[in-house]
Structure 1
Amino acid sequence: MAKQPSPFMQQAYSPQPSQLEMQPVLQLFNAGKLVEAESAAKKLVARYPNTFILYQILGICQDGLSKFSEAAENYAKALTLQPKTPDLHFNLGITLTNLGKFAEAEISYRKAITLQPRFFEAHGNLGTVLQKQGRLEEAVASYHHALSIHEDPRGHFNLGTALRDEGKLDEAITHFNQAIAMFPNYADAHNYLGECYRDQGNMEDAIKKYFDTLALNPNHAGANYNMGEFLYLAGRFDEAVDYLERSKLDDWQERALYCTYKAEHFEAFKNKLDHIVHAHEKHNAPFLQTLSTHHAVNFGVEDQYNFCKNGFDFVYQKSIPELAEPNSQFLKDLLNDIENTAIEVRAQAMVINGKQSAGNLFKRPEASFRKLGEIVKQEFINYKNRFAGADCELIKSFPKELEFTSSWYVRLRKGGYVDRHIHEVGWISGAVYLVLPTDKKDPTEGCFEYGLHGDNYPLKHDNFPVGIATPSVGDIVLFPSSLFHRTIPFTSNEERICIAFDLKPEGDIFIRSSY
Structure 2
Amino acid sequence: MFTDELTMRWVTPIATRTLNDSEDFNLSLEKEILDLKQIDSGVNLSNFMGWHSTVNLFSKPSQALDGLKELLVQFVSDYISELNQENCQVLVELVAWANVLEKGGYHLPHTHSGHLSGVYYVNTGEPDSHNPNSGLIVFSDPRSNVNGINSFYLDFGSSFKYEPKAGMILLFPAYLLHWVHPFTGAGRRIAISFNVKLIDPPCREISVTPVEAGIIQN
TM-score normalized by the length of structure 2: 0.74
> Which residue, out of 91, 114, 118, partners 1:401?
91
Distance 1:408 1:336 in 2: 14
The equivalences for 1:218-297 within 5 A come to: none
User: What does the per-residue CA deviation read over 1:24-59, in whole Å, with 9 as the maximum and x for residues that have no partner?
Assistant: xxxxxxxxxxxxxxxxxxxxxxxxxxxxxxxxxxxx
> Which residue, out of 141, 148, 153, partners 1:461?
148
The structure having more radius of gyration, on CA atoms, is 1
Distance 1:446 1:417 in 2: 7
Conserved 8 A contact 1:343-1:358: no
Conserved 8 A contact 2:111-2:177: yes
User: What does the per-residue CA deviation read over 1:458-502, in whole Å, with 9 as the maximum and x for residues that have no partner?
Assistant: 898384321111221111111111211111112234311100101
Conserved 8 A contact 2:101-2:189: yes
SS of 1:374's partner is helix
| Corresponding position: 1:347 with 2:43 | yes
> Which residue, out of 306, 310, 319, partners 2:11?
310
| Corresponding position: 1:417 with 2:106 | yes
What is the CA RMSD across the aligned residues, in angstroms? Answer: 3.0
TM-fit CA distance, 1:343: 5.3
Structure 2: gaps (5+ residues): 1-8, 151-156, 201-212
> Which residue, out of 72, 88, 93, partners 1:376?
72
Distance 1:339 1:491 in 2: 20
Which structure ranks higher in relative contact order (CA pairs < 8 Å, sequence separation ≥ 6)? 2
Q: Which amino acid letter does the alignment assign opposite residue 504 of structure 1?
A: K
Moved more, 411-420 or 341-350: 341-350
User: What does the per-residue CA deviation read over 1:251-290, in whole Å, with 9 as the maximum and x for residues that have no partner?
Assistant: xxxxxxxxxxxxxxxxxxxxxxxxxxxxxxxxxxxxxxxx
**Percent identity of equivalent pairs:** 25
TM-score normalized by the length of structure 1: 0.33
TM-fit CA distance, 1:368: 1.1
Conserved 8 A contact 2:131-2:184: no
What is residue 321 of structure 1 aligned with on the other side? 20
Q: Which amino acid letter does the alignment assign opposite residue 461 of structure 1?
A: G
Conserved 8 A contact 1:384-1:398: no
Name whichever structure is richer in helix by fraction: 1
SS of 1:461's partner is helix
Sort the Cα spacing of 1:397 and 1:417 in 2 relative to 1 into closer, same or farther, 3 A.
farther
> Which residue, out of 40, 56, 60, partners 1:360?
56
Conserved 8 A contact 2:90-2:198: no
Distance 2:191 2:117 in 1: 13
Distance 1:478 1:431 in 2: 7
Q: Which amino acid letter does the alignment assign opposite residue 411 of structure 1?
A: V
Conserved 8 A contact 1:343-1:357: no
What is residue 333 of structure 1 aligned with on the other side? 28
